[in-house]
Amino acid sequence: MSDVSTDYLDKLKATYTNAEDALKEKAKKNEEKIGWTVGEGEVYDKFNPSKLSECQDLFKVKEITHTVKKVIPHGKNSGKDGATNKIMSLAWSKSESDPRMAVIDQMGSCFVWDTEKTLRQGGFIYPFAQCIALAPKECAQTMVMVGGMRNATELFIQTPNVAKMAKQKTWIAHDGYISSCHFLAQGKKYITSSGDADIRVFDIEKSGEKDSLVTLVGHSKDAQSIKFPRDDKSENVFITCSSDKTVKMWDLRTTSCTHTFKTFSELNACSFFPNGQMIACGGEKDKTFVFDVRASRIVNLYRRNNQKTASCEFSKSGRELFVGHDDGSIIVWDIFASGKNKEYAKKIEAHTVPKDPNNKNSSPDETASRVQVLDVGPDGFLASGGFDGKVKIWGAPDA
């Protein structure tokens, strides 16, 4: 890997070598869950844990089979001129062994899905949405937080045996669109980022319409894409990216910014390594940046010529970095490998829509193909949502 010291690389490899047995055991436990039924008697091939041991020290990312395990039929052809509704945001529940996912499209149709049964559990309409969050299953009721171009966040709650979720509360504390939202403290609080460059934390029960518990100030332009490290359950540390070309790390205990990572690109998306020791981010340039938190420096640049970074997400173990692009492709990078153009581990044409549907060699229609959102759930499954109106759940969750 370019720009990385030998000692750092050796330590990183040792981390994965020591964890290999545990990784294989997790894959075996998840094997039945991975083999979800997709249609009448149809089951996709299960992920083979033996692939993890094909390399003496580390499994080979190139040999992992990334297959669609489930397609969630959310974005139907109800848009203008019969166009498919673009997926704007999705979010897994953050509780383990919880198959629920919240999805919202550009027309404002929001549903909470049971992804194992492909059933809608409840929903509502919220036009001009940009982000969504689903409260953990430990909450007494199903709760969804949504935000968007109205400069507001709104809480919807589902009562038992009623499909339509009811609006419970509205907050208008930001002076800009809501770009990202997440539940905290088992659904008792939530956090938002906004086009006004601020990050705010709210108490769902106590905060008034314009009140927030904490306001974090530091970005000079739109704040985007709040991300927490999945393995850290304290919810104290998180990152945001911004069109000011920086990623900032924040600590809620001190209500301050602890690190600032500078890039040369306006940023759309960021992701935290599972243990919080690395950060990935990307945006308007055709590069995805990876920083080491402890060293406070860049350790790699992943290049894909002439393709902006629309979304990015580390896999459950952190070994893979998934990057979504406007052409509908998800590029899978091996974090131990080169970041040079076309030297990625895999290219998955996940949401690609050709400009000419009658010509298989036609170039992608980027207005209908963008991989808008990627999210890895607590059980390791990658979900992708695209401008083709589809939500896809991918296999090999422990890679």
Instruction: Tokens for 77, please give them.
Output: 């052809």
Taking the CA of residue 237 as centre, how many other CA atoms within 13 Å lie in the half-sphere pointing to its CB? Answer: 17
Give the per-residue pLDDT at 1. Answer: 42
Query: Please, which pLDDT band fits residue 357 given cuts at 50, 70 and 90?
Result: confident
Q: What is the mean pLDDT of residues 261-266?
A: 96
Which runs of consecutive H residues, i.e. helices, occur in the chain?
6-34, 366-369
Reported pTM: 0.84
Q: What is the mean pLDDT of residues 55-65?
A: 56
| Separation of alpha carbons 282 and 284, rounded Å | 7
Neighbouring-strand partners of residue 114: 100, 119
Indicate the range of 32-41, 135-144, 229-238 predicted with least confidence: 32-41
Q: What is the mean pLDDT of residues 186-192?
A: 95
- Residue 389 · residue 86 · CB < 8 Å: yes
Helix (H) or strand (E) holding 267: strand 267-272
The string of DSSP letters for 63-108 reads: GS---EEEEE--S-S-SGGGPPPPEEEEEE-SSTT--EEEEEETT-
Whether pLDDT at 19 is above 90: no
Whether pLDDT at 222 is above 70: yes
Higher pLDDT, 41 or 72: 72
Taking the CA of residue 303 as centre, how many other CA atoms within 13 Å lie in the half-sphere pointing to its CB? Answer: 9
Query: Please, which pLDDT band fits residue 210 given cuts at 50, 70 and 90?
Result: confident
| Separation of alpha carbons 276 and 363, rounded Å | 38
| Separation of alpha carbons 194 and 200, rounded Å | 9
Indicate the range of 1-10, 58-67, 79-88, 93-102 predicted with least confidence: 1-10
Taking the CA of residue 364 as centre, how many other CA atoms within 13 Å lie in the half-sphere pointing to its CB? Answer: 19
| Separation of alpha carbons 106 and 326, rounded Å | 17
How many other C-beta atoms are found inside a 10 Å radius of the C-beta of residue 205?
Answer: 8
Give the per-residue pLDDT at 360. Answer: 76
Looking at every residue in the chain, the average pLDDT score rounds to 85
Give the per-residue pLDDT at 81. Answer: 58
Whether pLDDT at 100 is above 90: yes
Q: How many helices (H) and strands (E) does the chain have?
A: 2, 30
Give the per-residue pLDDT at 88. Answer: 96
Q: In sequence order, what are the residues at sequence separation of 6 or more whose Cβ sits closer than 8 angstroms to the Cβ of residue 42?
A: none
**Quick check: helix, strand or coil at residue 26?**
helix
Count Cβ neighbours within 10 Å for each residue of 213-232 and write b for 16 or more, e otherwise. Answer: eeebebbeebbbbbbbbbee
- Residue 102 · residue 110 · CB < 8 Å: yes
- Would you say how long the chain is, in residues? 399
Q: What is the mean pLDDT of residues 28-57?
A: 35
Give the per-residue pLDDT at 207. Answer: 78
Instruction: Tokens for 399, please give them.
Output: 């890679």
Q: What is the mean pLDDT of residues 48-74?
A: 60
Give the per-residue pLDDT at 130. Answer: 96
Instruction: Tell me how far CA of residue 201 lies from CA of 189, 215, 250, 331, in angstroms.
Output: 7, 7, 12, 33
Whether pLDDT at 313 is above 60: yes
Whether pLDDT at 251 is above 90: yes
Whether pLDDT at 198 is above 60: yes
- Residue 395 · residue 346 · CB < 8 Å: no
CA 58 to chain centre: 25
- Residue 193 · residue 145 · CB < 8 Å: no
Q: What is the mean pLDDT of residues 177-205?
A: 96
Whether pLDDT at 397 is above 80: no
Q: What is the mean pLDDT of residues 179-198?
A: 96
| Separation of alpha carbons 240 and 267, rounded Å | 10
Q: What is the pLDDT of residues 144-183, one digit of tens each?
A: 999 999 999 999 999 988 999 999 999 999 999 999 999 9
Give the per-residue pLDDT at 9. Answer: 55
Q: What is the DSSP letter of 302?
A: E
| Separation of alpha carbons 263 and 221, rounded Å | 14
Place of tokens 């009658």: 358
Whether pLDDT at 43 is above 50: no
Neighbouring-strand partners of residue 259: 249
Give the per-residue pLDDT at 56. Answer: 35
Whether pLDDT at 22 is above 60: no
Percent of the chain with pLDDT over 70: 81
Whether pLDDT at 50 is above 50: no
Give the per-residue pLDDT at 10. Answer: 61
What's the angle, vertex CA 238, arms to CA 236 and CA 244, rounded to 5? 145
Indicate the range of 37-51, 157-171, 212-226, 291-305 predicted with least confidence: 37-51
99, 186, 101, 91: which is closest to 136 by C-alpha?
A: 186
Give the per-residue pLDDT at 399. Answer: 55
Give the per-residue pLDDT at 332. Answer: 94
CA dihedral 90, 321, 339, 262 (to 10 degrees): 70
Burial zone of 124 (CB within 10 Å; 0-12 exposed, 13-18 middle, 19+ buried)? buried
